[in-house]
């Protein structure tokens, strides 16, 4: 459904007298299959929005190619526009008009006739549980209601693919869960959904496949379960005070069941082991025997954050 090869974009920005170049996206290769929910996971400034805006024909790539729903992004952007829907990160409704007016206008901008546009608007309002507020001005909506209107706008012309840039940012947990249901419903209706997010749980629970992005590059790609399996095994977090950490590290590094060991900045260790349940008793015994004081010990099944950490050396939570 979507295939990109070496998509690139840099921005020149002026700070005082100097011009700086930001390589926002540096060579992204992606393949998204029909009917899947594909997630783009990455910290602020990773280049998610820039990639999406290129795929939605809003900015021209500096290099690379992409085919979207069978249309060539470079050669036929007009055809791409007809086949996709796009919901921006920052919102897209006008305060002074109503949800119904926005939906009708947007449908008509896709060339849909007036009567049909009204029918579709009514159907979309119903599907997104907006009928009650349909004729109130957008400025009176709550954040969640507004987001639902925006997503309804993005799919009013029944595109093959819809790009949703951070669809759940700023929503409370309940609205987020609702939004996830809406997004799954889009897939059931046969749409391919491409979302960006910086929520780990969202990528994990909602997406069929994800690409992890950092500094303009895709650092990992696969199913959430597959990616976690790839970094192999469990993580044991051992809490120690900063003074004894180096010695304990030396001690545990030579243990056969420890695959890899990292020092946590504030003191403590992160141990990568195959099987946490059997490793923990051994760790406890070893540390106790050497006379160090443990402040805590935790078992972590690998999360997408661990995947991110392995690939980039930073935690997504910190960045």
Partner 1 sequence: MKLARDTWLIFERQLQLLLRNPVWVFVGVFQPVMYLLLFAPLLKPALNAPTQAEAYKIFVPGLLVLLAIFGGLFQGFGLIAELRAGVIERSRVTPVSRLALLLGRSLRDVVSLIAQAIIITLLALLFDLRVFIGDLLLAYLMLALIALMTSAVSYGVALKVKSEDALAPLMNTVAQPVLLLSGILLPLTFAPGWLQGIANWNPFSWAVDGTRALFAGDLADDKVWQGLTITAVLAAAGVFWAARQFARSVR
Ligand X SMILES: Nc1ncnc2c1ncn2[C@@H]1O[C@H](COP(=O)(O)OP(=O)(O)OP(=O)(O)O)[C@@H](O)[C@H]1O
Q: Tell me: does residue 175 bind ligand X (CB under 6 A).
A: no
Interface size with partner 1, residues (CB under 8 A): 29
**What 3-state DSSP class applies to 100?**
helix
Quick one: which segment of 42-50, 251-259, 280-288, 304-312 binds ligand X (CB under 6 A)?
A: 42-50
**Complex with ligand X: residue 47 or 85, whichever CB lies closer:** 47
Q: How far apart are the first and last CA of the chain?
A: 31
Tokens of 41: 């996971």
CA distance 271 to 260: 6
Residues 4, 28, 39, 47: which binds ligand X (CB under 6 A)?
47
> Cα separation of 42 and 211, whole Å?
9
Distances (CA, A) of 311 to 214, 305, 314: 9, 10, 8
Contact call for residue 319 and ligand X (CB under 6 A)? no
**Spatial distance between the Cα atoms of 169 and 262, rounded to a whole number of angstroms:** 32
Under the criterion CB under 8 A, does residue 57 sit at the interface with partner 1? yes
Query: CA 200, CA 117: separation in Å to the nearest integer?
Result: 37
With CB under 5 to 8 Å by kind, the binding choice for 108 among partner 1, ligand X, Mg ion, none is partner 1
Would you give the binding string for Mg ion spanning residues 70-109, x where CB under 5 A is met? Answer: -------------------x--------------------
Figure out which of the listed residues 11, 75, 259, 315 binds ligand X, where binding follows CB under 6 A. 11
CB 235 within 8 A of CB 309: no
Interaction with ligand X in 192-251: which residues (CB under 6 A)?
198
* Positions in the binding site for Mg ion (CB under 5 A): 48-49, 89
* Positions in the binding site for ligand X (CB under 6 A): 11, 13, 22, 24, 42, 44-50, 89, 198
């Amino acid at each position: 459904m979507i295939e990109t090869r070496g998509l690139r974009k840099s921005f020149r920005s002026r700070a005082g007298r100097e011009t700086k170049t930001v390589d926002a996206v540096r060579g992204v290769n992606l393949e998204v299959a029909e009917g899947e929910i594909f997630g783009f996971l990455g910290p602020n400034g990773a280049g998610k929005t820039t990639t999406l805006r290129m795929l939605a024909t809003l900015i021209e790539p500096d290099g690379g190619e992409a085919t979207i729903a069978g249309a060539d992004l470079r050669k036929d952007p007009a055809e791409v526009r007809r086949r996709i829907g796009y919901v921006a990160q920052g919102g897209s409704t006008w305060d002074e008009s109503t949800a119904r007016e926005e939906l009708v206008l947007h449908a008509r901008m896709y060339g849909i006739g007036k009567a049909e546009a009204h029918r579709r608007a009514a159907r979309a309002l119903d599907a997104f549980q907006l009928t009650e507020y349909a004729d109130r001005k957008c400025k009176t909506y709550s954040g969640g209601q507004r987001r639902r209107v925006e997503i309804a706008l993005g799919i009013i012309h029944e595109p093959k693919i819809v790009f949703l840039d951070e669809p759940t940012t700023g929503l409370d947990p309940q609205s987020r869960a609702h939004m996830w249901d809406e997004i799954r419903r889009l897939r059931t209706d046969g749409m391919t959904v491409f979302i960006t997010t910086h929520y780990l749980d969202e990528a994990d629970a909602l997406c069929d496949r994800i690409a992890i992005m950092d500094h303009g590059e895709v650092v990992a790609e696969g199913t959430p379960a597959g990616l976690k399996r790839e970094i192999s095994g469990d993580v044991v977090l051992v809490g120690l005070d900063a003074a004894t950490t180096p010695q304990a590290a030396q001690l545990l590094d030579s243990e056969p069941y420890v695959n890899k060991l990292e020092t946590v900045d504030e003191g403590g260790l992160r141990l990568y082991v195959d099987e946490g349940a059997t490793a923990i008793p051994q760790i406890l015994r070893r540390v106790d025997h050497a006379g160090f004081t443990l402040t805590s010990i935790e078992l972590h099944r690998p999360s997408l954050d661990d995947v991110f950490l392995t690939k980039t050396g930073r935690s997504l939570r910190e960045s």
